[in-house]
Structure 1
């Protein structure tokens, strides 16, 4: 799933901090108003399409209403960290989601974007984008010479 842009964003380092919401104000506003959408989009990409945006967002919405969204959402932070070998910062994943769930969701969305994914496209859209980027242009036979 990693797009190979290791010079710009090396494995083992987050591309933004937990409080880097100013770097993407649109994402910040969306997450504050409707975190289930931002979370669902990121979860679909992290899960490589095994979980749809709608399903992940709905589960998040339901567990948020009983007060334990962090128990569901932190698992996707762990998966994201595993994909890019990211450290468990600033504390363990469950604590980050318990104390700063909106900031964590925003950071995870930004991380995907900064590593070449667009969570708003879903997994299929990102897979197509990556496949197009990895395709070699067709070779053209040299013209006939006399």
Structure 2
């Protein structure tokens, strides 16, 4: 059973009836150049890290002590395979983006998630990374 977790709105974004905005804009990926570059060069690693960190928060109500694990995880290999064979790693990303939006009560829908993941893949991955990291930092020690 998952516990409450950390602060899911660390920047205190205004909350409307349909949710709130992302804590960082899609073009704020430059604020985190290391993650952004990794998302450009090896999106499978950032995708897998985001997925593992979010799942750990949901399952345990605490940050992942491995901070997303290594690059040989199942989600990483799956993303890399789909990306290399079909050029469609964005499909996994857009599904995960919906999970991230749901956890943080962020406005949006599947169509927007798909377009963002397809057209702005590295920015999408970096934005999700930043949102998850804000909750992790709310626990202190990171």
TM-score under structure 1 length normalisation:
0.69
Structure 1 unaligned segments of length 5 or more: list them.
Answer: 118-128, 134-146
Q: 1:87 to 1:48 in 2, by over 3 A?
A: same
Structure 2 unaligned segments of length 5 or more: list them.
Answer: 60-67
CA RMSD of aligned residues (A): 2.7
Q: What residue number does 2:35 align with?
A: 27
| Corresponding residue SS for 1:115 | helix
Q: What residue number does 2:64 align with?
A: none
Q: 1:36 to 1:106 in 2, by over 3 A?
A: same
Aligned residue pairs total: 119
Structure with more relative contact order (C-alpha pairs < 8 Å, separation 6 or more): 2
Query: What do the CA deviations read for 1:10-43 (whole angstroms, capped 9, x no partner)?
Result: 4622111111112111111211221111110001
Q: 1:39 to 1:7 in 2, by over 3 A?
A: closer
Cα contact 2:9–2:23 (8 A) shared by 1: no
Moved over 6 A (4+): none
TM-score under structure 2 length normalisation:
0.71
Looking at structure 2, the residues matched to 78 and 42 of structure 1 have their Cα atoms a distance apart, in angstroms, of 13
